[in-house]
Amino acid sequence: MSSAFSPSRASNRFDATLAAHGVAPLSRRTPTTLQVNMGKLCNQACRHCHVDASPTRTELMDAATVERVLAVLEASPCIEHVDITGGAPEMNPRFRMLVDGVHARGRRITVRCNLTVLFEEGQDDLAEYYAAHDATIIASLPCYTAANTDTQRGSGAFGRSIAALLALNAVGYGDHQGAKAPSDGPAPRRLNLVYNPLGPSLPPPQASLEADYRERLRTDFNVVFDELLTITNMPIHRFADDLERQGKLGEYEQLLVDSFSPQTVQQVMCRDLVSVDWDGKLADCDFHQMLDIPLGAGAKSIFDVDDFATFAGSSITTAAHCLGCTAGQGSSCGGALDG
């Protein structure tokens, strides 16, 4: 890895850590993934939520912004994959307009689904809708026991999550157990689960935890899934506030510095991804979007860009919490980077 970065140029703790390890600053490759945040409305209010989403939030992507996202997608053949998130993205009335539009343009779709949304009003056909659009589902399930999951996601969340997983299994989701998704082409009806730690620790090794989940969910509930993705909690928003209250925030930040893995830096998701917020604002990743950290490439909004390929080679704005992506096995929206 290049060591062109001088320590004297370090402007935050992440950049200083890169410099101390002789690693060059982050820069972009040609974007291949567009992440779209449909808004902050959610039927849950989880303790670790970095979006601060809840049932009382009103921020939602409007139709004009959805149309603009689809127009820029059409003009950007480099984007192979659209990753849709929220809040609970399904609670935005324009959600299916976006999914239909992405599907019609032949790009792969991933939806970050919180599972319990399948039981919200008007979502009765959601599992079938996903199946009909070959959407990959990525669903948080912080533990295979009710007590731990309910602690993080609210009382009763575990039982409703299991019922939702069974509904997805019933329409063909979760059948490729253990097999990796193809890097290109359709990846039909994949169901991946997400684990993130309850407290200020790094996730355990992804492969061994996946084996535990597979065994327990099959034995206890007859649930099947494809892959388990482990994600490190970012020390921002609700999770950071929680640590601050416990007096553990400094300790957690030091853990991320001490666990820095240089080999993860080439794989961090912002190298290949552009994130667009509910109001069209662009950012280098979902976390930065939540913190109003502007895109390193300069464009402020989806209305300022015509083709995402023009971002190739541009810089990425960094901050101290980027250390959450490079600690241990590394972490991204697709799970461990080095697992």
Question: Which residues would be at the binding site for ligand SF4 (CB under 6 A)?
Answer: 42, 44-46, 49, 51, 53, 86-88, 114, 268-270, 284-285, 287-288, 316, 318, 321-322, 325
Q: Give CA–CA dist 186/182, Å, rounded.
A: 8
206 or 332, CB closer to ligand SF4?
332
Hunting for tokens 């329409």 — which residue is that? 171
161 or 176, CB closer to ligand SF4?
161
Report helix, strand or coil for 41: strand
Give the pair of three-digit tokens for residue 290.
Answer: 């939540």
Spatial CA neighbour of 295 closest among 287, 285, 306:
285
> Taking the complex as a whole, how short is the minimal distance between the CB of residue 52 and ligand SF4, in angstroms?
8
> Taking the complex as a whole, how short is the minimal distance between the CB of residue 215 and ligand SF4, in angstroms?
25
> Taking the complex as a whole, how short is the minimal distance between the CB of residue 237 and ligand SF4, in angstroms?
10
226 or 272, CB closer to ligand SF4?
272
> Taking the complex as a whole, how short is the minimal distance between the CB of residue 295 and ligand SF4, in angstroms?
10
301 or 317, CB closer to ligand SF4?
317
49 or 217, CB closer to ligand SF4?
49
Positive or negative: CA dihedral 26, 294, 114, 321: positive
Contact (Cβ atoms closer than 8 angstroms) between residue 196 and residue 328: no
86 or 280, CB closer to ligand SF4?
86
| Sheet strand arrangement including 108-113 | 227-230, 191-195, 136-140, 108-113, 81-85, 33-37, 273-276, 282-283
Give the pair of three-digit tokens for residue 198.
Answer: 């309850």
> Taking the complex as a whole, how short is the minimal distance between the CB of residue 316 and ligand SF4, in angstroms?
5
Contact (Cβ atoms closer than 8 angstroms) between residue 187 and residue 179: no
Sequence-ordered strand ranges (E) for the chain: 33-37, 81-85, 108-113, 136-140, 191-195, 227-230, 273-276, 282-283
53 or 143, CB closer to ligand SF4?
53
Positive or negative: CA dihedral 195, 196, 201, 206: positive
Buried (b) or exposed (e) across 12-46, using 16+ Cβ within 10 A? ebbbebbbeeebebbebeebbbbbbbbbbbbbbeb
> Taking the complex as a whole, how short is the minimal distance between the CB of residue 179 and ligand SF4, in angstroms?
26
> Taking the complex as a whole, how short is the minimal distance between the CB of residue 195 and ligand SF4, in angstroms?
13
> Taking the complex as a whole, how short is the minimal distance between the CB of residue 324 and ligand SF4, in angstroms?
6
71 or 146, CB closer to ligand SF4?
146
| Cross-strand partners of 37 | 85
Contact (Cβ atoms closer than 8 angstroms) between residue 332 and residue 268: yes
